[in-house]
Amino acid sequence: MARTLRVFDNDPSARPKVYSSDFVGRFRAGQKLNGRPVGLSAWRITTGDPEVGKAVANLYGGIPQSWETTKEDSLEVLTDADTVKVIVDGPDAVSFRMALYGMTGKPIHACDGVEFIDTEDPRVGQPCGCPQTLQERKAGAKAGHGPKPDQRIEFRLADDPELGRFRLMTGSWDFMKSIETVWRELEAVGGPALCTLKLELVEFQTKSGVDVTYRKPVLQVHGRVPQDVGAALPSLAKHVEEPPF
Ligand SMILES: [Zn+2]
């Protein structure tokens, strides 16, 4: 039996929460309808914690409901918000690799675009053979034999930082184009940064005259987390108390 502190027995709400995952929830830009992936115009947040479901529904709209998944995050909230203020701890909280997933759900090709980078892959460090141009990479990914961007953003909600850590996973090529700027800006902030995470509308017409619209995830870095958010988040206090040079 796990050791417990009896001081919490009569006051269970005071007991710090322990999550089996480092993340309390995921932001998603789409959902599956009749087995087909469909893009959404507002964030869909999934979680395994009913308290988190309630909290994000209060903040961003929607109702926590169950959805079909074999994973831990069995509740979803279809929010009304396409724009959310978040706190990103630094450049390491935004990761990038190229990945092609196999039937087992594990990557069969994980690279940085040039070399294999998965340390569990015996081919690590060797040239991965991906094509050189973006156009060819996209074509390979679309055909299902080449990897596509496998990007993760870790963040807390500026509206309720104590709720815990959330994650967005995105395969967006548009996000890939923005990632060097995002890293540079987060580096410049030098600590937890206040950012806006949004699902931005993209509209254009193809050369053959077809109207295309979709949403792309965008992370805008504003600057250091302001004092009031720091007050609600003791772990950030040492950063916000430093004089702004
Ligand atoms: Zn590759």
Q: Are 43 and 84 in contact (CB under 8 A)?
A: yes
Distance 63 CA to ligand 1 centre (A): 40
- Is the residue at 108 inside a domain? yes
Cα(21) to centroid of ligand 1, in Å? Answer: 29
CA 94 – ligand 1 centroid, Å? 19
Rounded to an integer, what distance in angstroms lies between the CA atom of residue 126 and that of residue 108? Answer: 14
Q: How many CB atoms lie within 10 A of CB 84?
A: 23
**Helices and strands in the chain: count of H runs, count of E runs:** 5, 11
Same domain, yes or no: 67 and 106: no
Question: Among residues 155, 130, 126, which one has the least CA distance to residue 56?
Answer: 155
Q: How far is the CA of 97 from the centre of ligand 1 (A)?
A: 9
CA pseudo-torsion sign 211, 216, 222, 225 = positive
Distance CA 117, CA 107 (A): 11
Q: What is the mean pLDDT of the chain?
A: 90
Do 73 and 101 fall into the same domain?
Answer: no
Show the domain range for 115.
Answer: 94-149
Task: Concatenate the DSSP letters of all residues of 202-217 into one string.
Answer: EEEE-TTS-EEEEEEE
Q: How long, in residues, is the chain?
A: 245
Helix (H/G/I), strand (E/B), else coil: 13: helix
Last residue of a domain, one of 52, 81, 110: 81
From the CA of 142, how far away is ligand 1's center (Å)? Answer: 14
Q: Give CA 51 to chain center in angstroms.
A: 20
Cα(188)–Cα(178) distance, integer angstroms: 16
The answer to the question of residue 142 being in a domain is yes
The 3-state DSSP class for residue 81 equals coil
Residue 57 lies in a domain: yes
Please report whether residue 105 resides in a domain. Answer: yes
Q: Which long-range contacts (CB under 8 A, 24 or more apart) does 237-245 make?
A: 239/191, 239/192
Residue 32 scores a pLDDT above 70? yes
Beta strands 36-47 and 75-78: pairing type? antiparallel
Read off the pLDDT of each residue in 218-238 and give the average, rounded to a whole number: 71
The answer as to whether 168 is a domain residue is no
The token duo for 224 is: 């250091």
Last residue of a domain, one of 133, 149, 165: 149
Residue 96, token pair as written in the block? 């990038």
Ligand 1 centroid – CA 208 distance (Å): 31
Centre of ligand 1 from the C-alpha of residue 184, in Å: 24
Residue 153 Cα, ligand 1 centroid: separation in angstroms? Answer: 21
Any idea which of 3-12, 21-30, 138-147 has the lowest mean pLDDT?
3-12
The alpha carbon of 114 and the centre of ligand 1 are apart by a number of angstroms equal to 6
Distance 117 CA to ligand 1 centre (A): 9
104-109 contacts: CB < 8 A, separation 24 or more?
Answer: 107/147, 107/150, 109/146, 109/147
Quick check: 242 pLDDT over 60?
A: no
Overall pTM surpassing 0.85 (yes/no): no
Averaged pLDDT, 31-50: 93
**pLDDT tens sequence across 131-154:** 999 999 999 999 999 999 999 999
Number of domains the chain is built from? 2
Task: For residue 52, tell me if it sits in a domain.
Answer: yes
For residue 120, the CA-to-ligand 1 centroid distance in Å is 15
